[in-house]
Amino acid sequence: MGEEIRIEIESKNKGYPIFIGNSTSALIQKFIEENHKNKKVGIITDDNIKSLYENTISKSLNHLSPYLISIPAGEKNKTRETKERIEDMLLEKKYSRDTIIIAFGGGVIGDLAGFVASTYNRGISIIHVPTTLLAMVDSSIGGKTGVDTKYGKNLIGTIHQPDAVFIDLNFLNSLPKEEFLNGMSEIIKIAITSDKELFEFIEKNSKEILEKEENTLLYIIKRSIELKKEIIERDEEESGLRQTLNFGHTFGHAFENYSEYKIKHGFCISRGIAVESKISVLTENLKREEEKRIVSLLDKFSLPNKINEDINPNKIIDIMKVDKKTRNQKPRFVILKEIGRIKTKNKDFSFEIKEDIIKKAIETPK
């Protein structure tokens, strides 16, 4: 790959660049020196990828004397208590408004560090350096931050746009297969809802994608980001069109909570894609043949799309009722019309679905 690709996110409140390339440490250093000179640098990462930081971008940032904060890895640590602990560490070191945070890690780190940055001293700068495919195409872009509670995922959080996002494709070389597939669920999701051509490209090039062929990977990552850019620029506060990004997430987030966060986010979303595609069929919007293509593509990437027979649909629905997308304690879903196109009505991009249909979609063998 030659020079880095730069995508600009335009925003009413704050625009920012996304850089895509290989070995982006020099770019990160240059960006900080040009835009945040003399600021203190705090780096938030987790114990699993701390060594990745030390072996990649640490040397280029050493002269800035960054304060490295590493937390235990995993979704179970994305809590208000962890956020408070990070804030106390920064306060103890007398970090103030002249601070920039670097979120170095996957989606958990990005969400948590973003939330810290949004409230610390009433808001400080953050840049994202996502190290997983999931974070590269999803959580690092758009400014969503948050923590989980026992009642659900990301129920406490803010919208806080980063100053920049640096996507280094080299990180994918050492990414475990399970984590790579975890990220593919979000790429497939946005293709299903927004771009039939991308969906067909993934269908035809699944072998090359699984082999991490660089140009193929670059294309699907770049295209996924472009699609998300179009959506979030038109609806920064998630009041309308941005709900498109929630396809597969009403069930997926509930299932993640149901599993006590023991199942990876992407594997919960792939189940959500299957269930919500079935809901689209049961409500006579999506053709059965299209649903079969969706499930078949999930199968190509070994993404789980079957629901265990012993699952309790009533409990799942109860969890859905406290989801932030719910209105009047009634779950709402993004509905497919066809691959690449969702159902819309006036300003609505999600729809209330009767509980008997939700249960049938969960219980119906795929």
Which of 36, 78, 189, 249 is the catalytic position? 249
- Amino acid at the residue 135: A
Which of 153, 242, 271, 332 is the catalytic position? 242
Sort strands 125-130 and 99-105 into parallel, antiparallel or unpaired.
parallel
Residue 36 annotated among the catalytic residues of the structure: no
Which of 75, 186, 236, 256 is the catalytic position? 186
Which of 12, 37, 122, 345 is the catalytic position? 122
Is 226 strand, coil or helix?
helix
- The dihedral region occupied by 109, where left means phi > 0, alpha psi between -120 and 50, and beta the remainder, is alpha
Which of 40, 50, 189, 265 is the catalytic position? 265
Which of 4, 75, 238, 291 is the catalytic position? 238
Which of 144, 160, 264, 278 is the catalytic position? 144
CB atoms within 10 A of CB 285: 16
Which of 253, 264, 278, 343 is the catalytic position? 253
- Calpha distance 16→187 (Å, rounded): 22
Residue 242 annotated among the catalytic residues of the structure: yes
Residue 215 annotated among the catalytic residues of the structure: no
Residue 144 annotated among the catalytic residues of the structure: yes
Residue 249 annotated among the catalytic residues of the structure: yes
Nearest to 87 by CA among 77, 76, 101, 108: 101
Residue 246 annotated among the catalytic residues of the structure: yes
Residue 234 annotated among the catalytic residues of the structure: no
Sort strands 16-21 and 5-9 into parallel, antiparallel or unpaired.
antiparallel
What contacts 24+ positions apart, CB below 8 Å, involve 171-180?
171/52, 171/56, 171/130, 171/131, 171/132, 172/133, 172/212, 172/217, 173/212, 174/52, 175/131, 175/132, 175/133, 178/264, 179/106, 179/132, 179/133, 179/134, 179/264, 180/133, 180/212
Which of 154, 182, 246, 257 is the catalytic position? 246
Residue 238 annotated among the catalytic residues of the structure: yes
Which of 128, 160, 223, 228 is the catalytic position? 228
Residue 122 annotated among the catalytic residues of the structure: yes
Residue 359 annotated among the catalytic residues of the structure: no
Active site positions, annotated: 122, 144, 186, 228, 238, 242, 246, 249, 253, 265
